[in-house]
């Protein structure tokens, strides 16, 4: 039985297959409208994440399935201290597939070992968030037509942002990709990403503190949040926060076919004035998130169309 716990559980071929299914869903939504009739998805959200939950729910409804579950631990029996293993064994009596968000790292893996039905990790405490990475990959495929030959700029918090590490890992499996890693020194990419992924795979990358310098070379600009709590002191935060805010002015030197991505929600790192620029694709990215989740649900339920 296949689960989706870590993006590394999927081979490049399997990812390409998911993307192909998602693209077919985009072209022929009617063909998929009843593929999950009679199937139930349980969304077990031990911490609230409304966006991710809505995306999964919308995905399941569009496939003709139904959704049950809870959206925070306080409103369920799990607040009485029930173990993840017991909860998923119970839920598996009612549902065909589980989507789990949990503040503790590894909880969805525990669920996958005990449930007996497919489990999707919808985020485990900043550890893994594979459907975000799948969303990013489908977005790149749709916006750029493919993965090879791209220069990908990633800007903001590259130290703590695990979705960034996982995107680098996933993209490094495609040929002729290079990275420009843009961040304040305090939030630069951790050594292990360089030592375990970039250097052994001979992937060209540049680290810089200047978004302006990097801009003209980028095919993709992936913006992330720079959070106040990541800084040791308020002065550093105030000094740096505006440097990494994307404005129409900063886009003057950008390529005409740049794709601007962001995992959302944003705080202020992309000015709303950028939203109407056709190069801004972060709201399309949200839509792609639903389609790739539809493809994933079909795959894990072993429903072929």
Partner 1 sequence: MIIGKIEDGIVLDHITAGRGMEIYRTLHLDELDCSVAMITNADSVKMGRKDIIKIGRVIDINLDVLGFIDPGITVNIIRGGKLYKRERLTLPKSLKGVLKCKNPRCITTVEPELVSEFRLSEVDSRTYRCIYCEALAQLP
- Using CB under 8 A as the criterion, which residues of the chain lie in contact with partner 1 when the complex forms? 83-85, 102-107, 109-110, 124-127
Smallest distance from the beta carbon of 124 to partner 1, in angstroms?
8
- Hey, is 119 helix, strand or coil? strand
Smallest distance from the beta carbon of 84 to partner 1, in angstroms?
7
Rank residues 64 and 125 by Cβ distance to partner 1 and give the closer one: 125
Rank residues 83 and 148 by Cβ distance to partner 1 and give the closer one: 83
Closest to 153 measured CA to CA, from 219, 74, 245, 224 = 219
Smallest distance from the beta carbon of 52 to partner 1, in angstroms?
19
Rank residues 110 and 220 by Cβ distance to partner 1 and give the closer one: 110
Rank residues 107 and 254 by Cβ distance to partner 1 and give the closer one: 107
Rank residues 89 and 241 by Cβ distance to partner 1 and give the closer one: 89
Burial 225-263 (b: 16+ CB within 10 A, else e): bbbeebbeeeeebeebbebbbbeeebbeebbeebbbbbb
Rank residues 193 and 260 by Cβ distance to partner 1 and give the closer one: 193
Burial 191-217 (b: 16+ CB within 10 A, else e): eebbeebbeeeebebeeeeebeebbee
List, in sequence order, the alpha helices (H) in 162-209: 162-171, 191-193
Smallest distance from the beta carbon of 301 to partner 1, in angstroms?
25
Asked if 258 contacts 278 with a C-beta cutoff of 8 angstroms, the reply is no
Left, alpha or beta for 182 (phi > 0: left; psi -120 to 50: alpha)?
beta
Smallest distance from the beta carbon of 196 to partner 1, in angstroms?
9
Residue 257 tokens read as: 């076919």
Tell me which H or E stretch contains 120: strand 119-124
Rank residues 31 and 104 by Cβ distance to partner 1 and give the closer one: 104
Smallest distance from the beta carbon of 172 to partner 1, in angstroms?
18
Smallest distance from the beta carbon of 133 to partner 1, in angstroms?
16
3-state secondary structure 18-34: HHHHHHHHHHCHHHHCC
Q: How many CB atoms lie within 10 A of CB 30?
A: 6
């Amino acid at each position: 039985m296949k689960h989706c716990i870590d993006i590394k559980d999927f081979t490049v071929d399997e990812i390409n297959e998911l993307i192909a299914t998602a693209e077919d869903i985009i072209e022929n939504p009617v063909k998929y409208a009843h593929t999950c009739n009679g199937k139930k998805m349980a969304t077990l959200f031990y911490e609230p994440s409304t966006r991710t939950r809505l995306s999964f729910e919308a995905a399941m409804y569009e496939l003709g399935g139904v959704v049950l579950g809870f959206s925070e631990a306080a409103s369920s029996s799990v607040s009485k201290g029930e173990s993840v293993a017991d909860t998923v064994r119970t839920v598996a009596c009612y549902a065909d597939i589980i989507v789990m968000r949990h503040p503790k790292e590894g909880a969805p893996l525990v669920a996958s070992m005990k449930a007996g039905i497919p489990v999707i990790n919808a985020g485990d405490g900043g550890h893994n968030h594979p459907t975000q990475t799948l969303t990013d990959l489908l977005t790149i495929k749709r916006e750029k037509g493919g993965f090879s030959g791209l220069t990908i700029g990633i800007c903001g918090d590259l130290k703590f942002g695990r979705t960034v590490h996982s995107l680098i890992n996933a993209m490094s499996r495609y040929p002729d990709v290079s990275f420009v890693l843009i961040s304040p020194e305090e939030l630069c990419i951790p050594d292990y990403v360089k030592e375990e992924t970039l250097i052994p795979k001979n992937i060209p990358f540049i680290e810089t503190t200047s978004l302006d310098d990097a801009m003209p070379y980028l095919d993709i600009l992936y913006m992330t949040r720079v959070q106040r709590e990541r800084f040791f002191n308020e002065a550093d935060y105030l000094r740096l926060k505006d440097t990494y805010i994307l404005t129409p002015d900063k886009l003057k030197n950008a390529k005409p076919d740049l794709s601007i991505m962001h995992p959302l929600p944003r705080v202020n790192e992309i000015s709303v004035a950028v939203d109407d620029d056709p190069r801004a694709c972060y709201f399309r990215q949200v839509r792609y998130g639903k389609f790739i989740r539809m493809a994933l649900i079909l795959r894990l339920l072993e429903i072929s169309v």
